Structure 1
Amino acid sequence: MSQVWFITGSSRGLGRGLAEAVLMAGHKLVATARNPAQLDDLKQRYGDQVLAVALDVTDEQSAGQAVKGAVERFGRLDVLVNNAGYGDVGSIEDTDMANFRAQIETNLFGTIIVTKAALPVMREQGAGHIVQVSSVGGRIGPAGRAPYAAAKWGVEGFSEVLSREVGPLGVKVTIVEPGGFRTDFAGTSTTLREGRPEYDETVGKMARYQRDYDGRQPGDPAKAAAAIIHLASLDNPPLRLPLGSDAIRAIEQNDAQRAAEHAAWRDLSVSTDFDAGNGAGHFPWEAR
């Protein structure tokens, strides 16, 4: 069944690959970019099947107008993919606050802003699927990527809350967590700074790794696009889906280490409760 998709960051990388795959699959698409001229070839190839829209995801008015244009053109909105984002490499100490804010504004607040713009439409429809493009860096804190990881961890928390709120309304949420894919994310889209020598074994190592990794990532963008299109066809999609063998391996290792740490320190954790019988001890979302 044909769906109406809305993809942020459609001009390059994973967003571009997904945009082309969505159109090839016969769906309708609102393709967004800061410079919509970069989407002219899609309009030429797919005509009225695609609507190219200028969008700065950090601008609430721009996001509202883009969603309004989508509904005016296609009558509804079935799948929103918050894909726009970038991440530089540098130490926390050497990353100025303007850079911190810029990455968090795009990666976190951009996701929040576009999601909020689309929510009234999906709530009124009683249906929709919001796909948040997070990262393996949304589950693991890699050295050298503090602003990016802070933003992506924020996306993860925001989206988990979102799923609890809108799930009963018929709106689905999936967080995809890509590892390394052969896009320009690790190339021209990223500024790499090895920084001062004190951080050479952490941040410097990450910057060098990123340079060497570019072009050799295991992830195939076309297969990522196919996986996301498959997710959007499911009645019961997962809340989280790592993408790529490197992502699943790193997340599994990190989760195992976290579980071991919780077990090792459990007695100290629970020692902070009042004496038995003084509290309920359950959160409202816990399974009983």
Structure 2
Amino acid sequence: MKETWLVTGSSVGLGRSIVEAALAEGHNVVATARHPRTLDDLASQFPDQLLAQRLEVTDGRNSRDVVEATIERFGRLDVLVNNAGFAGVGSIENMPLDLIEQQFDTNFMGAIHACKAALPTMRAQRQGRIILISSIGARIATPGAGIYYASKAAVSALAETLALEVAPLGIKVTAVEPGAMRTRFAEAASSKVAPFDTAYDNTVGATVSTMRSRDYASFLHDPAGVAAMILKVAKLGDMPARILAGEDSYEMGTGADACRSASDARWEKLSRSATVA
């Protein structure tokens, strides 16, 4: 069945791969970017299926305008994919507050704006799916990526709670947690390194060195695979509130969950002691 998809952050990388996959399946797609001319080639190839829109994800009014344009052009909104993201690398102590705020504004508040814009339409339809692109960083810890990972952990927590709130309304919500991908986003993250104190050379510095090494590129996987998985997720009758995406993500995510469970078990007695009889 032909559906209408709205995908944020569509100019490159995973967002563009999702748009291309949805178009290939015959769906209508509203693809957003800060510079929509980057989508001109797809607009020419799919003039009846694609609507390119400018979107600044930190602007709630802009998000509502895009949803209105979606309804005006295609009459409904079936799937929202919030993909836009921004990453900075550096120690938590030394990272400038504006770089911290920029990551939360884009990654978390961007998801909030997108959901708030789409939900009234989906509630009226009594149907819809919301897919929030999170990260394996929502489950693991890496020195230097603490702020980005914290913003993505917030996205995954948002998805879990929102899924419970809107399930009775016919709306499903999933946070997709990919591992590392070959995208310009990954390249940009490695270049946006905030200066850090030499005390962090062996922790944050090691992460930065790894990201900038030639060997690191060999561990990255094609975003087209994640895009294909997302289209499968959207077809599920019982969408999970959170799902890992990619072999690396699955291995690291389940490993981190196991370590967390082991730590909880180790400190069970101390934890339970907080309850006063």
Question: How big is each residue's C-alpha offset from its partner over 1:6-55, in whole Å with a ceiling of 9 and x where there is no partner?
Answer: 00000011001111111111110000001111111111110021010000
* Aligned counterparts of 1:187 and 1:217: Cα–Cα separation in 2: 13
Tell me the residue number matched to 1:192.
193
1:177 to partner: Cα distance: 0.4
For the residue of structure 2 that corresponds to 1:141, the secondary structure is coil
The TM-score with structure 2 as length reference comes to 0.96
The amino acid across from 1:266 in the alignment is E
Question: For the aligned residues, what is the CA RMSD?
Answer: 1.3
Tell me the residue number matched to 2:115.
115
Identity of aligned residues (%): 45
Tell me the residue number matched to 2:13.
13
Task: Answer whether contact 2:140 2:253 (CA < 8 A) is retained.
Answer: yes
Task: Answer whether contact 1:194 1:205 (CA < 8 A) is retained.
Answer: no
1:150 to partner: Cα distance: 1.6
* Aligned counterparts of 1:219 and 1:238: Cα–Cα separation in 2: 23
Residue ranges of structure 2 left out of the alignment (5+ in a row): none
Task: Answer whether contact 1:193 1:204 (CA < 8 A) is retained.
Answer: no
State which drifts further: 237-246 or 104-113. Answer: 237-246
1:12-31 correspondence runs (5 A): 12-31=12-31
1:63-78 correspondence runs (5 A): 63-78=63-78
Tell me the residue number matched to 2:95.
95
Task: Answer whether contact 1:193 1:207 (CA < 8 A) is retained.
Answer: no
Tell me the residue number matched to 1:285.
none
* Aligned counterparts of 2:188 and 2:151: Cα–Cα separation in 1: 20
1:274 to partner: Cα distance: 2.8
Which structure carries more relative contact order (alpha carbon 8 Å, separation 6+)?
2
Tell me the residue number matched to 2:269.
267
* Aligned counterparts of 1:119 and 1:110: Cα–Cα separation in 2: 14
Out of 217, 232, 244, the residue aligned to residue 234 of structure 2 is 232
Tell me the residue number matched to 2:153.
153
For the residue of structure 1 that corresponds to 2:130, the secondary structure is strand
Tell me the residue number matched to 1:177.
177
The amino acid across from 2:184 in the alignment is D
* Aligned counterparts of 1:233 and 1:257: Cα–Cα separation in 2: 32
Question: How big is each residue's C-alpha offset from its partner over 1:117-141, in whole Å with a ceiling of 9 and x where there is no partner?
Answer: 0000111111111001000111122
| Count of residues paired in the alignment | 275
